[in-house]
Amino acid sequence: MSYNLLKGKRGIIFGALDENSIAWKTAERVHEEGGKFVLTNAPVALRMGAINELAKKTGSEVIPADATSFEDLQNLVDKSVEILGGKLDFVLHSIGMSVNVRKGRHYTDLKPDWTAKGWDISAVSFHKVMQTLYKSDAMNEWGSIVALTYMAAQRVFPDYNDMADNKAYLESIARSFGYFFGRDKKVRVNTISQSPTPTTAGQGVKGFSGFIKYAEEMSPLGNATADDCADYTVTLFSDLTKRVTLQNLYNDGGFSNMGVSEKVMDRFEDEE
C-alpha cells in the first residue's frame, strides 16, 4: 500500500547489493512512496550485485562510489543533485564490512590494519558522507539521514566481532554530527537498530542462523524483517517525523527490552 509519503522527495541510497539487502528493500519502498533517488555502492560491490536490475525497476541511476573516498563522495553528491534536479531530502547509509570477520580472526586476536579498514568502511564513512553533504549544503531543510546499526553496539554478541565496535562508533557519529546538522541545516540524523536479518552481509557472521532463531523466540513480536525496516525507514524519511533526531531507534520486535521470554525459559525447563 502506498501513501505517497515521499512524493517530490529526492535522495541517495547507499549499499543495495541484492534483493536480500535492506537497502534494496528500502529503495523499492521509497519508489512506491513517490521518492526519487540515486543508487550507489562500491565499484567491487556493483560488480558482485544486481543493482542495475533495481535501477531499472525504480527508474534510478547508479553512481559508483567508494564511501571512504572524499573525492568519490563529492562526485556522487554533485551528480545526484544534478540528476535529481535539486537538493536532497533523504540519505540511507547501509554499509558495513569487517575484514576480521571475513578472514575468521577471533575478537581476541584482531589484525589492527584489518580493524582499521573495517572501521573506515563501516563507521567513518558515515562521517565522510555527512561531511560532504554538510559542506556542499546539499540537503534541504527538514531532510533526513538514516544509518543502519545493530544492538551489538550496546550488548555483547561474541561472534559479531569488531563490527560491534564499528556500530558503536557509527551511532556516536550520528549523534555528534546530527547535532550540527540539526542546528545549522535543520536536517535530522538517526540510526535504526535492526533485528538480525538474513542479508548477504549478515550471513557472514558465525552462528548467525542460530541467533536469528533465538531472537525470534525472545521478541514478543518476532524479528523485524528487511521489509519492516524499509517501512520504518520510509517513516523517518517522511515529514511525519520532522523532530525525531539524534536517536538510535530499535526496530526489533521488542528484543532490546527483553530479559528472557517464556519460550526461551521453556527450553531450559525441559532440560531439568
Q: How far apart are CA 272 and CA 270, in angstroms?
A: 6
Q: Is residue 145 a known part of a binding site?
A: no
Q: How far apart are CA 117 and CA 121, in angstroms?
A: 6
Q: Is 179 a catalytic residue?
A: no
Q: Is residue 182 a known part of a binding site?
A: no
Q: Is 107 a catalytic residue?
A: no
Q: Is residue 63 a known part of a binding site?
A: no
Q: Which of 3, 107, 134, 160 is catalytic?
A: 160
Q: Is residue 192 a known part of a binding site?
A: no
Under 8 Å CB-to-CB from 50, ≥6 apart: which residues? 18, 19
Question: Pick from 217, 209, 220: which is nearest to 266 by CA?
Answer: 217
Q: Is residue 21 a known part of a binding site?
A: yes
Q: Do the Cβ atoms of 265 and 193 come closer than 8 Å?
A: no
Q: Which of 3, 107, 134, 150 is catalytic?
A: 150
Question: Pick from 141, 126, 135, 145: which is nearest to 11 by CA?
Answer: 145
CA 257, 230, 262 angle in degrees (round to 5)? 30
Active site residues: 150, 160
Q: Which residues are annotated as a binding site?
A: 15, 21-22, 95, 167
Q: Which residues are annotated as a binding site for NAD(+)?
A: 15, 21-22, 95, 167
